[in-house]
Amino acid sequence: MTACSMTGFARGEGSDDRIRWTWEARSVNGKSLDARLRIPSGWERLDPIVRKSLQDGFKRGNFTINLDIRPIGGKGVVRINEGLLDELVARCEAFGERPRLDTLLTVRGVVEAAEEDDGDLSGDDERIAAIESTLTDTLARLAEARSDEGGRIASVLRDHLGEIETLVEEAETCADAMPEAIRNRIMAQLDELLPKDGALASERLAQEAAVLAVKADVREELDRLKAHIEGARDLLREGTGIGRRFDFLCQEFNREANTLASKSAALDLTRIGLNLKACIDRLREQVQNLE
């Protein structure tokens, strides 16, 4: 299965002997599934059809669905703005002029081109089925566009996970992360800071240093990071509907990286921790696009 993005666009057109229609479907990131529909007046019976199609086909995203319906060429009508025409006639007579219809009809706004009233056409079940079929095709293309974009995002996520894995391996081999190195560093610091007269027993100091070394040990955080990497790769293999879970996993990634950086007392390990945080932020930015 392929991971899906929440971003996409699709367009579909159809027609019969009376009208021509066009569907446009757009989607962007969203925490849930929300739809904004623009359906022409008189065609409201399509509204629940669109909403159900979205719920059946998608899990998350903010959708904008537009339907444009126009009469077939030659089906337009011409209307006379009688109110404006009466006003012009009255003005001509007020000035003592004899109104000429051929002249008045050339005044802008008197003659109006209009579309044939198609409100009654929405009652034709066969026509509604044809429009719905175009909608189905349009949403299928939208899903395909989201899937294609999701594939590109998944490739970027795999690269980020590889970078995180490399940093974790680097941290594992860092001498400053080894328990013995941590213990020796703490003992050296205590030796510099404490009095030389033996006021504090060396055995007690060794015990305290061991406790501090355990607290500074980052192996547990590194193990968790490795587990999170495998979990993220499993999600990518699963593909669909992984956005929320992947976002939560990114929070866990970030928590372990923060702990690692806070425990570090060595420049090399601190550098690795900061690089991990930066890479995890980039990972999470991309994850926000997944359905």
What pLDDT shows up at residue 49?
95
* Percentage of residues in the chain having pLDDT higher than 70: 79
* 109 or 21, greater pLDDT: 21
Q: pLDDT per residue over 97-129, tens digit each?
A: 888 888 888 887 888 755 555 445 667 889 999
What pLDDT shows up at residue 50?
97
* 131 or 269, greater pLDDT: 131
Checking if the pLDDT of 15 tops 50, the result is yes
* 94 or 212, greater pLDDT: 94
Q: pLDDT per residue over 46-94, tens digit each?
A: 999 999 999 999 999 999 999 999 888 655 566 788 888 888 888 888 8
Q: How far, rounded to the nearest angstrom, does the alpha carbon of residue 215 sit from its chain's CA centroid?
A: 40
Q: pLDDT per residue over 214-230, tens digit each?
A: 556 778 889 999 999 99
Query: Per-residue b/e over 113-144, b at no fewer than 16 CB within 10 Å?
Result: eeeeebeebbeeeebbebbbebbeebbebbbe
* 146 or 120, greater pLDDT: 146
What pLDDT shows up at residue 118?
47
* 54 or 268, greater pLDDT: 54
How much is the average pLDDT of 173-186?
A: 61
What pLDDT shows up at residue 261?
83
Confidence of residue 180 (pLDDT cuts 50, 70, 90): low
